[in-house]
Amino acid sequence: MLVFSSQIDIWASKGVFGEGIYLKRKTHPIPKHHILPTTALQIMSGLGLPIFMYGAF
């Protein structure tokens, strides 16, 4: 069941806000101390994609 919420203090809302901030990084720069963890998470996600695809098919 899909439930929509107008609350902004739950983890799902915070994740969506984070995506918006990341997408606006050209006009609103991300602080330097957040760039390395963000890049590391993107690389780890990318490395896991082939394993996910193998398991999905």
This prediction's pTM: 0.58
Q: DSSP states of 1-57 as a string?
A: -------SSSHHHHHHHHHHHHHTTTTSPPPHHHHHHHHHHHHHHHHHHHHHHHHH-
- The pLDDT value given to residue 51: 93
Q: Is the pLDDT of residue 1 over 80?
A: no
- The pLDDT value given to residue 4: 64
For residues 54 and 47, the answer to whether their CB atoms sit within 8 Å is no
For residues 12 and 20, the answer to whether their CB atoms sit within 8 Å is no
- The pLDDT value given to residue 46: 94
Q: Is the pLDDT of residue 54 over 60?
A: yes
Nearest one of 43, 9, 12, 17 to 35, comparing CA atoms: 43
- Residue pLDDT, tens place only, 2-37: 566 667 777 777 778 878 888 898 999 989 999 999
